[in-house]
Amino acid sequence: MSHQNLAEAFESAEVPYREKAMQSTWGHLAPKKGMKYNGYMVFCISETGDIVVIRSEFRILDASPWMYKAMLKFVEENAKKEGIIYMFKGFVRNYKFHGKTWKLDV
């Protein structure tokens, strides 16, 4: 007997429809290709291992599922220790972050 649940069984068939639904719902919020968005992000990995974006602001850029995914990936790659709060300041272009990241003293 398989341990696959119902959601996992249909997941591969739903992927193309999920992307279309996301695009039609939030597509207007997605960052424009090649455009530079200046801003900052305060983030950490909690002591329980959760990725936490405490605050972020990128000029003229609205929140979108794609930007959120890029932010989580950036935090995962740049937060070195659990329980430490970090600050990123710079810009985002094509879902890539360019700038400086440092620990905040709290």
Q: For position 1, what pLDDT does the model report? A: 46
> Pick from 81, 56, 60, 50: which is nearest to 68 by CA?
56
Tokens of 12: 């591969």
Chain CA centroid to CA 81, Å:
18
pTM, to two decimals? 0.70
- The yes-or-no verdict on residue 97 having pLDDT over 50 is yes
Please report which confidence band the pLDDT of residue 53 belongs to, taking 50, 70 and 90 as the band edges: very high
How many CB atoms within 10 Å of residue 92?
24
Q: Does residue 40 register a pLDDT over 50?
A: yes
The rounded distance, in Å, linking the Cα atoms of 101 and 79 is 9
